[in-house]
Amino acid sequence: MNAEVLAFVLYFIVVLCIGVFFFFKSKNGGEKEYFLGGRGMGPWVTALSAQASDMSAWLLMGLPGSILAFGFGEVWIGIGLALGTAANWIFVAKRLRRFSQAAKDSITLPQYLSNRFGSGKRALQLISAVIFLVCFTVYVASGFVAGTKVFVRIFPSLDTSTAMLIFAAIILIYTFLGGFKAVCWTDFFQGLLMLVALLIVPIIAVSLGEADTFALSQTIVDNAGKEYSFGTGLFNSDWRDIVSGLAWGLGYFGMPHILVRFMSIRKAKDINRAAVIAIVWVVLALGAVVVMSILGRMIMGEELIMSQTQDMVFIAFARRYFPGFVAGLLMSAIVAASMSTADSQLLVASSSFTSDIYKPFIRKQADKKEVLWVGRAIVLLVSVVAYFIASSKAEGAQAIMTLVENAWAGFGSAFGPVVILSLFWKRFTYKGAIAGVVGGAVADVAWLAGGLSASTGIYELLPGFVAGFICAFVATLIDKKPDEETVAVFEAATTAEME
């Protein structure tokens, strides 16, 4: 066993031990403990787990590879995500923590949206839960694909099916056993690992003085004759690229696996500290990616582009500058990025079924132990379905994987406007929320399916978000004013004394 493999094995042993630890520590807990950590998460764990679950392998492979090949114009998505992260923590996090507790101590986003209006109706909860379950099953499948890609690229001798099975099994075991706390604590350590890895690589590269600034001005032509010119003008980008990049930030307001972190924190007052930690993490991580990408272009750009492996720039740096064991630890950060996203999505898919479908509609009298084990069963079922989707070679599977790229826009369009209005508008009504979810989702799909994303260059999240907001606003104004119970929830959540 070489040093790189040893580092990987030790890393995964630690991850699995976390799952086993929380299984025995909280085996007598109920659904609130399993799906929300008993609302006992501290600011550091909340912040880093939220950011780790947000940033997948895209942060260490997709984004740096794109910047290395095409230049600063590719940075706009990162800027949009950084601004969206900051806005989400500053404007949404604390209020959602308070509102979810005031709304009958809701533990999932669909449950919160239903309880927020004091309505005995379950239509909104059911619609939201079904969307979550379907989309997150596909999301988990995409995480399996991303993790497998990393495994195979780091260990070429490992076949795809074996790599995917190992990756899926590790995520399944610690999520199945430990639930939300295991996911958050593994994401906490994975977030630290990702940040350290991103910071140390460009620092070492700069200190060794290998960079050649002349390489930035060179146009590289790959073996297929495609040209790669490094664009040095951030603000000279096409306005549609800038608008679409910034629009990515709107997605945060509707991302269930991130919003649930806000609901899980121990006290609302801890949000301020968590927000600072999260925003600093995002700025440092994205900044390090940009610097690493520029250095990669200057030091090994031609080599990577000619071999069409520009997304391997982080791995190339790790192997170039560090001994085997350290390089293995650094490369574990890429797998950590994939795992931290997939595990969160897996747990949200499970909670959407158990808390929003199984208990309200199938087994209303189910006790906490039954709900807990049903949740674990759904974790297993979703993992199996996601595995078969990810491992399928059919065109249909590829079409599903293509849809995953647009799921961020779907969640942001359907739920972003509704979440914001539910937190800041006392007049907002149940029917307005349904109109916002449906209207945003339909507009997003219509924009994409109609080919407008490609023809206009405008990311479908922007028109979908605007449409969802308008539908929710207009439907609320047409609807009668909310009843006393709904107003009471709003007022209870906005009192300064509530923690």
How much is the pLDDT for 163? 87
Residue 486 carries which side chain, given as an amino acid letter? T
How many whole angstroms separate alpha carbon 79 and alpha carbon 198? 17
Helix axes 76-87, 239-247, angle to 10 degrees: 30
Which residue intervals of 324-367 are DSSP H helices? 324-353
Q: Taking the model in full, what pTM does it have?
A: 0.86
Check if the beta carbon of residue 252 is closer than 8 Å to that of residue 258: yes
pLDDT at residue 499 in the model: 52
Mean pLDDT by 10 residues, the chain (499 residues): 80 80 67 63 85 79 85 87 94 93 86 82 83 79 78 79 86 75 78 88 86 78 77 76 87 90 85 94 93 89 84 88 87 79 79 81 80 83 85 56 70 94 95 95 92 89 96 96 90 72
What pLDDT, on a 0 to 100 scale, did the predictor assign at position 396?
47
Distance CA 319, CA 208 (A): 15
- Measured distance CA(468)–CA(346) in Å, rounded: 26
Structural domain boundaries in the chain = 3-399, 406-499
Helices (H), 392-483: 395-404, 407-424, 430-449, 452-456, 461-478
User: What pLDDT sits at residue 253?
Assistant: 95
Task: Look at the chain and count its residues.
Answer: 499
Both structure tokens of 35: 């799906």
Gap between the terminal Cα atoms of the chain: 51
440 within 8 A of 414, measured Cβ to Cβ? yes
Alpha carbons 453 and 38: distance in angstroms, whole number: 41
DSSP codes of every residue in 372-389: HHHHHHHHHHHHHHHHHH
Using DSSP, state whether 223 is helix, strand or coil: coil
Contact 52, 188 (CB under 8 A): yes
* DSSP reduced 3-state for 228: strand
b or e along 108-123 (b: 16 or more beta carbons within 10 Å of the residue's beta carbon)? Answer: bbbbbbbbbbbbeebe
CB 128 within 8 A of CB 356: yes
Question: Are the CB atoms for 345 and 257 separated by under 8 Å?
Answer: yes
The predicted structure's pLDDT at residue 397: 46
CA angle 309, 310, 312 (to 5 degrees): 70
Show Cβ contacts of residue 209 under 8 Å, excluding neighbours closer than 6 positions.
none
pLDDT value of position 364: 80
Please give the C-alpha separations between residue 428 and each of 53, 119, 252, 260, 423, in angstroms, as whole numbers: 30, 13, 21, 22, 9
Q: Which helix (H) or strand (E) holds 134?
A: helix 123-154
Under 8 Å between Cβ of 47 and 274: yes
Q: What DSSP assignment string belongs to 287-337?
A: HHHHHHHHHHHHHHHHHHHHTT-GGGHHHHHHHHHS-HHHHHHHHHHHHHH
CATH of domain 3-399: 1.20.1730.10
Q: H or E element: which one contains 221?
A: strand 219-221
In contact, 251 and 464? CB cutoff 8 Å: no
User: Looking at residue 90, what is its pLDDT?
Assistant: 95
Structure tokens at 68: 């290395």
**Residues 138, 383: Cα–Cα separation, whole Å:** 10
Report the distance separating Cα 124 and Cα 430, nearest Å.
8
